[in-house]
Amino acid sequence: MRLLWLSVIALIAGAAAGFVGGAFRWVLFHADSLRATISEWAHATPGGFVVPVLLTALAAAAAAAVVRLSPRSSGSGIQDVEAVVRGEAEPPPLGVLPARFIGGTLAIGGGLVLGREGPTVHMAATIGASAGRATRRSGDDVRVVQTALSGAGLAVAFNAPIGGALFVFEEVTKRIQLRTVVATLASVGAAVACARLITGDRPDFTVVEPASIPLFALPLVLIFGVLLGAVGSAYSFLVIGCLDIARRLRRIPATVRAACIGAIVGGALFLDPLTVGGGDALTQAILTGHAIALPVLVMYIVIRFIAGPLSYAAGTPGGLFAPLLALGALFGLAFSRLVDILVPSFTAGLGPNGSRDFAITMAVVGMSALFAAVVRAPLTGIALIIEMTAITSASIPMILAAVAAVIMATALRSKPVYESLRHLMIDGKP
């Protein structure tokens, strides 16, 4: 009977989370379009560069002001969910939900290099915790429902139900219990079904399935995975380093710090809208084989590698996943270009579309491998990318690269990023 009640609560809460998460995605989609329009206008108007700089700064400052009203809405939110699961924090109050929605819209919609998944996961978890409390369940049951709903939030953020479920077991709880499995599946199914009424039921990215790369190319994939393991370690270090700098600058008001970071990101927005935001448009361009000149590709990598951790240090609502996926796709494209330059006969030997297919495959592999290196949840990363792209031909390269990336990141003594963020949260740091 207890399992039935948990499932019913998770199902109803999941439906609510689906509508909230779907609405959040809809708002951010239109914010992306608005940013591109503003950038075009700014380039066509004398002195127009001031507008994106000012708007992004104001949006970031406003998001930071929202966080002052609801401190638990800061950052990703995933570390908050994990802290609750481990008994290090109480389940979030319902007030976190509007703060996450409004603050996330301002920060991510304004252009900060942050992901929608963090706020969506935390909003869903908040709905789950509130549903558990409203039905007078025990503290243990409230945590189970909150945990299950966190998976529903991730599933809605990326339209990836299997990835959302795996996220709960591989990252949040790191164990499998029947009641958590049942509650998670119920909430994920209901959430994604309801979200699709708003966002549609197509995969996040439209991709033409590339040809499978041959066996002799797999050593290159392993090398790429090792490289991304090192890149992921550096990225995690930069995230924590930027947060440490923000902590040292606590005498400066949070809104002012956020505005300064927003102004920097606004400058990048004026330079090229694809350098900022969650990165979906950039990832889609890469996966459709859009031609990107090598200097521009390098610019995207450098700016997004720095702007992601910098944006996170603003302390506004926003996650790390989506920018990681875009960065992984960029590194995959760069690696394929490097192979083209150094060994032109390699891609030529893959067939008439060999260069294109190899680039798309490595972009997809890069998305999952960088995720695995930073988050240390390879199964979740692989499942997410397969569901987001509907590509199965790259599954073997994704697995091998993820393994290599995780081993390399571990060898470099890089901690999983959400473990580090959870410790910072418990210690009372930003």
Write the pLDDT tens digit of every residue in 321-330.
999 999 999 9
Does the pLDDT of residue 138 top 80, yes or no? yes
Q: How far apart are CA 386 and CA 399, in angstroms?
A: 11
Q: Is the pLDDT of residue 395 over 70?
A: yes
All residues at 6 or more sequence positions from 284 whose CB lies less than 8 Å from its CB, including other chains: 205, 206
- Hey, what amino acid is at 388? M
For residue 344, the enclosing domain spans 215-428
Kindly state the helix (H) or strand (E) to which residue 417 belongs, with its residue range: helix 417-426
CA distance 307 to 285: 20
Examine the domain organization and report whether 52 and 141 are in the same domain: yes
Residues 220 and 286 grouped into a single domain: yes
Query: 46's torsion region: left (phi>0), alpha (psi -120 to 50) or beta?
Result: beta
Q: Provide the CATH number for the domain around residue 127.
A: 1.10.3080.10
Whether residues 90 and 172 share a domain: the answer is yes
Q: What is the pLDDT of residues 336-375, one digit of tens each?
A: 999 988 888 777 667 777 788 999 999 999 999 999 999 9
Give the closest residue to 191 by CA, choosing from 414, 35, 16.
Answer: 16
Say yes or no: 94 and 220 in one domain.
Answer: no
Same domain, 125 and 228: no
- In whole angstroms, what separates CA 352 from the centre of its chain? 34
pLDDT of residue 150: 97
Q: Is residue 204 part of a domain?
A: no
The answer to whether the CB of 401 falls within 8 A of the CB of 222 is yes
158 within 8 A of 279, measured Cβ to Cβ: no
Q: What is the mean pLDDT of residues 35-44?
A: 91
Q: Domain check: are 101 and 231 in the same one? A: no
Give me the phi and psi of 75, to 5 degrees please: 70, -150
Q: Evaluate if residue 118 carries a pLDDT over 90.
A: yes
Q: Give the chain's length.
A: 430
Query: Amino acid identity of 326?
Result: A
In contact, 160 and 139? CB cutoff 8 Å: no
**Last residue of one domain, picked from the residues 138, 168, 199:** 199
Is 206 inside a domain boundary?
Answer: no
Predicted confidence (pLDDT) at residue 429 exceeds the cutoff of 60: no
